[in-house]
Amino acid sequence: MYQYDAHDRQLVLDRVEQFRGQVQRRLSGELSEEEFKPLRLMNGLYLQLHAYMLRIAIPYGTLSSAQLRKLAHIARRYDRGYGHFTTRQNLQFNWPALADTPDILAELAEVEMHAIQTSGNCIRNVTADHFAGAAAGEIEDPRIWCEIIRQWSTFHPEFSFLPRKFKIAVTATEQDRAALRVHDIGLRLLRDHAGQLGFEVMVGGGQGRTPVLAKTIRPFLAAEHLLSYLEAILRTYNLLGRRDNLYKSRIKILVDSVGPEEFTRLVEEEWRQMPHDRIDLPEAEIQRIRAHFAPPPFEALPQRDAEFELRRRGDPAFARWVRANVSPHKQPGYAIVTLSLKPHGGIPGDATAEQMDAVADLADRYSFGEIRVTHEQNLALVHVRQRDLGALWHSLAELNLATPNVGLATDIIACPGLDYCSLANARSIPVAQRISLALQDLDRLTGVGELKIKISGCINACGHHHVGHIGILGVDKKGEEFYQITLGGSADETASLGEIVGPAFSSERVVWAVETIIATYLSLRRGPEERFLDAYRRIGPDPFKEALYAAH
């Protein structure tokens, strides 16, 4: 993992002490709320419906076991014994007291963590494929490049006050597990015909009120020029992006209004004029950072572990879990394990301090002390020997972290919604819970196959509803909670935006609506191999509309 250098460490410690002073001045009355608000937001501290909320960055979704234990400790000591993992690969604490937050940040700094770049109109915490460094077919670990971007963007004087927040995601496989097309910039690492390392550069994606899929403005950018090219994009945006209208300030609106071709031309022109060598990192520095992401000391193992294969054939419950929650690893004899934070009827993304501590121990034992946070609000241990899968499965089951539902209909993304969020129109979590309970039969769940349900409590779309196969958006109708359903969205390499299927449903009817959509799919699919998304793309919305609305 990447280790801070002395400069980084000092920077973070200085920020903690600076914030301690600001909190004291707020509590003593020297600072008003208007003065204090931007300062607290710069340190990840929000004021929500019932309490403050502290959002902690987990750069590119990677945690060490020591960091996860620290989060468990904070949850216990300063909060209410749990934390919430978000779609931005962050962790949120829902109940910190204002006076405690400097101490929390100081504790985080001890394990090289902080809450910087989790708020404000800056380049936010860069996200990555959560299987980075492990995924079969990967070009190289995308976190190398995330770290390069992190170092370049943290406190970049030119980009601390952008027109609006700015999100970058990086992947390095054909499969997109990081939702590249709904980021301000999506970067896919690849090699050209000559074997040279580079990026496909996608710009102008986003969700929220105006969902847009990012356009590829450069199919191949030589990797060594990444920073200068990003700087050219950011400069173009900083110069032309709108600051007068919050709803029009994202880069997606700029790309759309000038047109992707013209935007590309502007960026290329800016880039050509730049002194690349002043911005791009020298090869030696790239190598230095690369060395931090060297693979862990894997054992030389056969491709398939015989004992594991035997167990899988003999134990249907284990086989079910393997099928849903275990993914292929690039190293022979190893596997990637996703820990479901979606127990049936549970709160998507929540983990207790006890679970965090136990997962840290399991990571030490089975996965080189490393934990990943996925944007789908699960955790992952990405370097597990196949031989250890049986024992790990038992341990996870005891922790209620082995629900065999990853990628299935009850692996629901849900934002905090009106139970916590001051911007919400409606609740998300109880809807996720009710759907999850209704669909929890494991045979049925497996029978339905891959199905991504994503719920947001308002149009800000933190729950990614626009790219859910079934998207659910909470709306306020005369002070009551209603839910608008979209179908056919997808965040993967075949990204698409969902289409509104019709008028919103009441809270009582929303579970029925989801079940009706699933029943319609089951009746129309060509066979179990035709996934929901594929079937929807083939048959379109009409049969679903018919089933949902015709009788009324």
Partner 1 sequence: MAAQVITANRLVDGAVVYLSADGQWVQSLEEASVAEGEAAAAALVAAGDRAVAGRLVVAPYLIEVDRGPEGIQPRRYRERLRATGPSIPFGGGMKG
- List contacts with ligand SF4 (CB under 6 A): 415-417, 421, 423-424, 456-458, 460-463
Helix (H) or strand (E) holding 84: strand 82-85
The DSSP element (H or E) to which 313 belongs, if any, is helix 306-314
Q: Which does 341 bind (CB under 5 to 8 A by kind): ligand SF4, partner 1, none?
A: partner 1
The reply to whether 505 sits near partner 1 by the rule CB under 8 A is no
Q: Minimum CB separation from partner 1 for residue 302, in Å?
A: 37
Are the C-beta atoms of residues 41 and 70 closer than 8 Å to each other?
A: no
d(CA 115, CA 350): 19
Nearest CA-CA partner of 134 in 297, 343, 328: 328
CB of 547 to partner 1, least distance (A): 29
Neighbours of 111 (CB within 10 A): 16
User: Residue 346 binds what, of partner 1, ligand SF4, none (CB under 5 to 8 Å, by partner type)?
Assistant: partner 1
> Under DSSP, is residue 510 helix (H, G, I), strand (E, B) or coil?
helix
Q: Do 55 and 40 touch, CB atoms closer than 8 A? A: no
Contact (Cβ atoms closer than 8 angstroms) between residue 351 and residue 339: no
Residue 180: contacted member of partner 1, ligand SF4, none (CB under 5 to 8 Å, by partner type)? none
Told to check if 98 binds partner 1 by CB under 8 A, we report: yes
Piece in contact with partner 1 (CB under 8 A), picked from 10-18, 113-121, 236-244, 349-357: 349-357
| Residue 345 binds which of ligand SF4, partner 1, none (CB < 5-8 A, kind-dependent) | partner 1
- With CB under 5 to 8 Å by kind, the binding choice for 460 among ligand SF4, partner 1, none is ligand SF4
DSSP 8-state assignment for residue 461: -
Beta bridge partners of residue 105, listed in sequence order = none
Q: How far is the CB of 411 from ligand SF4 (least distance, A)?
A: 18
Q: Can residue 397 be called a binding residue for partner 1 (CB under 8 A)?
A: no
* Closest CB 312 distance from partner 1, rounded Å: 27
- In degrees, to the nearest 5, what angle opens at C-alpha 514 toward C-alphas 406 and 431? 75
The count of chain residues that interact with partner 1, using the rule CB under 8 A, is 44
Q: Which of 183, 212, 188 lies closest to 198, judged by CA?
A: 188
One-letter identity of residue 406: V
Q: Does 424 bind partner 1 (CB under 8 A)?
A: yes
When CB distances are held under 5 to 8 angstroms depending on the partner's kind, the choice from ligand SF4, partner 1, none that residue 69 binds is: none
Give the amino acid at 3. Q
Out of ligand SF4, partner 1, none, which partner does residue 61 contact, by CB within 5 to 8 A per kind? none
Q: What is the 3-state secondary structure (H, E, C) of 247-261?
A: HHCCHHHHHHHHCHH
What character string, x for contact with partner 1 (CB under 8 A) and - otherwise, covers 35-74? ------------xxxxxx----------------------
The residue behind tokens 């109109």 is 121
Q: Which of 45, 50, 41 is nearest to 422 (CA)?
A: 50
- Which residue from 225, 372, 294 is spatially nearest to 2, judged by alpha carbons? 294
Query: Cβ distance 42 to 116 under 8 Å?
Result: yes
- Please state the length of the chain: 552
Give 26 or 466: the residue with its C-beta nearer to partner 1: 26
Q: Which residues pair with 401 in a beta bridge?
A: none
Centre a 10 Å sphere on the Cβ of residue 546 and count the other Cβ atoms it contains: 11
d(CA 387, CA 335): 9
Q: 423: how many CB neighbours lie within 10 A of its CB?
A: 16
Angle between helices 251-258 and 260-273 (to 10 degrees): 110
* Only segment of 136-144, 241-249, 421-429, 520-528 that touches partner 1 (CB under 8 A): 421-429
Tell me whether residue 61 or residue 346 sits nearer to partner 1 (CB atom).
346
Closer CB to partner 1, 176 or 411, in the complex: 411
By CB under 8 A, residue 376 contacts partner 1? no
Is residue 351 involved in binding partner 1 (CB under 8 A)?
yes
**Cβ at position 410, least distance to partner 1 in Å:** 12
The answer to the question of residue 444 lying near partner 1 (CB under 8 A) is: no
Note whether 420 binds partner 1 by CB under 8 A. yes
Among 233, 419, 458, 517, binds partner 1 (CB under 8 A): 419
Asked whether position 28 contacts partner 1 by CB under 8 A, the answer is yes
Residue 421 contact partner, candidates partner 1, ligand SF4, none, CB within 5 to 8 A by sort of partner: ligand SF4
The nearer residue to ligand SF4, 204 or 474, going by C-beta atoms, is 474
Residue 94 binds which entry of partner 1, ligand SF4, none, CB below 5-8 Å type-dependent: partner 1
Q: By CB under 8 A, name the binding residues for partner 1.
A: 26-29, 33, 47-52, 80-82, 94-95, 97-99, 341-343, 345-348, 350-352, 355, 400, 418-420, 424, 427, 429-430, 433, 437, 476, 479-481
